[in-house]
Amino acid sequence: ALGYDLMAFLSLSISQTRTGAVEDGLAAIPEVIEVHATTGDADLMAKVVARSTADLYRITNEILEIEGIQRTSTAISVLELMPPRYDGLLSRLSEQESRPSS
């Protein structure tokens, strides 16, 4: 609806001493819509939207300019197989709350 037809996930390796600057830099880029601290090879995982692959290239370069970002790895989403869902969790919670206490 907003014209951002491409979604990608960027694994970010950062300098551990520049975490605040990295967070602020990522927050300043509107196309970065989520950021998570992760375990494993990457320090952060960012969910990014773009208008095209050329636009994704621009956004990735903007991210790489943030002080403290050392390297990125990009995976483009080709198809959303399951959108965010919460119904099952809400049903489970409702069931648990309706059970009598023992």
Smallest CA-to-CA distance from 70 within 47, 43, 92, 89 is with 43
Quote the pLDDT of residue 55.
97
Task: Please give the order of strands across the beta sheet that includes 44-50.
Answer: 32-37, 44-50, 6-14, 69-77
| The two three-digit tokens of residue 53, written as one number | 């692959």
Residue 36: its pLDDT value, please? 96
Cα–Cα distance for residue pair 83/78, rounded to 1 Å: 13
What pLDDT is attached to residue 31?
98
Average pLDDT, the chain: 93
pLDDT at residue 102, rounded to an integer = 62
Q: Rounded to two decimals, what is the model's pTM?
A: 0.85
Residue 1 has pLDDT above 80, yes or no: no
- Please name the fold of domain 6-79: Alpha-Beta Plaits (3.30.70)
Q: For the chain, give every domain's residue range.
A: 6-79
Question: Which of 40-44, 68-72, 87-91, 98-102 shows the lowest per-residue confidence on average (mean pLDDT)?
Answer: 98-102
Residue 69 has pLDDT above 70, yes or no: yes
Of 98 and 53, the structure prediction assigns the larger pLDDT to 53
Assess whether pLDDT exceeds 80 at residue 59: yes
Alpha helices in 9-102 (DSSP H): 19-27, 53-64, 87-98
